[in-house]
Amino acid sequence: MQFKVIQQIGLIGYGEVGKVFSAGLKAKEGVRSMGAWDLKFAEVPSEAAHAQHAERAGVVVHLSSQSLCEASDLVISAVTASKTLAVAQEAAKHIKPGSVFLDLNSASPGTKQECAALIEASGAYYVEAGVMTSVPPYGIRVPMLLGGEKAAELAELLTAWGMDAKAVSEKLGVASAIKMCRSVMIKGLEALVIESYTTARAYGVEDYVLPTLAETFPSIDWQQTGAYFFSRVVQHGQRRAEEMREAANTVREAGFEPFMSSAIADKQQAVADQARAGVFAGMSKDVKDTKWQDYADKLLQHRHVHQLAKKE
């Protein structure tokens, strides 16, 4: 049995990913309306700014998950990892039978299977997605791996819309396992670079350390990679920390102790906390305008101020 024709799309989560997907999908053939719901829509004073952004973008603002689910043939969940299950729990109360729930969130196979059970018990179809790299600069063409009974059918539709979606398994959890195992490596490299580079900067030995990395891995531009890794963690460390906690769950579900994944989550969280505290205030968000040394110096300056405060 095929799912119904998709004419109305609803996004749960109007953050970076939600904005990109709503802008890219609203004009696709057959799409009659694009809506969004986000907790920020109900916050004051941010409510007006977020709602106005959506309205200017031609996105219908919904003030509840119920309103969005009841109006949508395709519901796309694009929230932070820690909210994955809560969103599915709420959506399952209101989603229309025969509609499709596409879960873009970075969560463990076990979490995705829990979400699927809830959505499918309501008569809708659940498809998991492993988003395999940062959405910018790909936009809606970001590579995605889909899993679930309707993964192939949905991949065909999304591909027709110009997206890069590939069904990898009818079994739920496979796409997420691929994503999470990759995240251990990518987010782990970010954490390692930040810790190694900042420590090297503290000792004044970075001009010795980086050339040795280039000698061992000559295909990597370690200066540029360092700047990119620092910038991504400073801007999105909270989201990355939550994702790595789900990666740790993935490792745990496989029967192993997630020593590395847990440590990576802690490092990402530490940088996120410092960013929230204003340690990187005034720095450009454009990686082209910054060097990794600029980020490291901010961390070192904060360490110095913190040490002085402890002495007092």
| Assigned domain for 110 exists | yes
131 plus 250 within the same structural domain: no
The pTM score is 0.91
214 and 101 in one domain? Answer: no
Task: Evaluate whether residue 77 is within a structural domain.
Answer: yes
Number of domains in the chain: 2
Give mean pLDDT, residues 248-266.
98
Residue 306 has pLDDT above 60, yes or no: no
Distance from C-alpha of 229 to C-alpha of 39, rounded to nearest angstrom: 29
Q: Is the pLDDT of residue 310 over 80?
A: no
221 and 88 fall within a common domain: no
| 126 shares a domain with 35 | yes
| 45 and 160 fall within a common domain | yes
Tell whether 155 and 29 lie within a shared domain.
yes
Q: Which of 33, 3, 31, 36 is closest to 19 using CA atoms?
A: 36
Answer whether residue 292 is part of any domain.
yes
Domain that holds residue 271: 176-311
Predicted local confidence at residue 51, as pLDDT: 81
**Helix residue spans in 204-258 (DSSP H):** 206-216, 222-253
Same-domain pairing of 213 and 160: no
Question: φ, ψ for residue 218 (rounded to 5)?
Answer: -65, -15
CATH of the domain at 82: 3.40.50.720
* pLDDT tens by residue, 181-208: 999 999 999 999 999 999 999 999 999 9
Smallest CA-to-CA distance from 275 within 238, 228, 223 is with 238
How would residue 5 be classed by pLDDT, with cut points 50, 70 and 90? confident
Which of 285, 239, 272, 295 has its CA nearest to residue 106? 239
Does 1 map to a domain? no
Over the chain, what is the mean pLDDT?
93
Are 155 and 190 contained in the same domain?
no
In single-letter form, the type of residue at position 85 comes to L
257 and 204 assigned to the same domain? yes
**3 is a domain residue:** no
The residue type at 245: R
Angle, in degrees to the nearest 10, between helices 174-203 and 222-253? 130
Q: Are residues 60 and 163 in the same domain?
A: yes
Helix (H) or strand (E) holding 36: strand 33-37
User: Does a structural domain hold residue 2?
Assistant: no
pLDDT beyond 80 at 141: yes
**pLDDT digit string, tens, across residues 39-79:** 888 766 555 687 888 999 999 999 999 999 999 999 999 99
Same-domain status, 77 and 210:
no
Cα gap 142→133, rounded to integer Å? 7
